[in-house]
Amino acid sequence: MQDGCSKQMYLSIADYHSISMGFINPLEMKNNIFKMAASLLACGLDPEKTTLFQQSRVADHANLMYILGSLQTISRLTRMPQYKDKAAVFKNGNIPVNLQLYPILQAADVLLYKGTHVPVGDDQTQHLLLMRDLAFKFNAILHCDFFPVPVQISARCARLKSLQNSTKKMSKSMGNDRSRILISDIKQIIVEKCVKALSDSQSNITYEPEKRPAVSNLVTLYALATATGLSVENVIDECASLDTKGFKLCLAEKIDAHIAPFREKYEGLLQEPQLIRDILTHGTQRAEKKAQETMAELRELLGFNLSHQAINK
């Protein structure tokens, strides 16, 4: 995507978002930031084409979130599907405020840089619609075209589901480590995760997302892991003679071969923490400059800037 874009792209490591449900161990937070940066760089992110930065180090993300919050209602935020799912974790009703504000901060993450196109999965469509609504409202109230209304860029491939729950997406936010494949996973771990992945009582391999969601998810993963980019129909033909166990072992081989070069780059980058710090610092400086420009214009529009207007007596 970065190679086909003529404009500067921005990508933040969303450490503010990571505490929306509560604080995490500070050492774990630092490690997560380093690992996320290393993962993105290992997968081909070019810091000259894509500004990679740490969200919490650009204060205007929070500033813009507060301003945008004036344009949204609590009732709509409460109805957001992701909020409902995550709020259910708090059985006693003590839900953190930031969990409800998550989509407002997400909107600020994009609008702060006057983003025009946002790559999101289907599960984030509602958040993007809210973001678009905020841009429309702001522009309408102030009679301007200050914020571009972001357009969704949908993924070209099927969204991968958890290896342990085919109704949920594959995500690091899922508590079970066996639910996902990581770029850092060595072959032995990949084999273990694939062998223990959820399937069903049938031994043959078919692609029927409605009837056999767990097996169909593994077929999708197999197709994505092949160097030639097989279709799911090709996967079924290729694996017609395999039972579920054999298919899972073959899947593990495909995944390991696919991520091995990225894993090698990732491990090498983790041995150069200063390089990662430098990339994030440089990216943060670039992001902060753009953010400050946006906020200066916005403060003028809202009347917060007193330097250009005399006080009426």
Q: What positions carry a catalytic annotation? A: 86, 169, 172
For residue 193 the two structure tokens come to 């995760």
Buried b (16+ CB within 10 A) or exposed e, 199-210: beeeeebebebe
d(CA 55, CA 280): 10
Cβ neighbours of residue 244 under 8 Å, at least 6 residues apart? 199, 202, 203, 204, 205, 215
For residue 143 the two structure tokens come to 């009679």
Q: Which of 55, 53, 113, 31 is nearest to 282 (CA)?
A: 53
- Between the alpha carbon of residue 288 and those of residues 34, 38, 279, 292, the distances in Å are 20, 21, 14, 6
- Between the alpha carbon of residue 45 and those of residues 2, 68, 206, 266, the distances in Å are 8, 30, 35, 12
For residue 305 the two structure tokens come to 């800037």
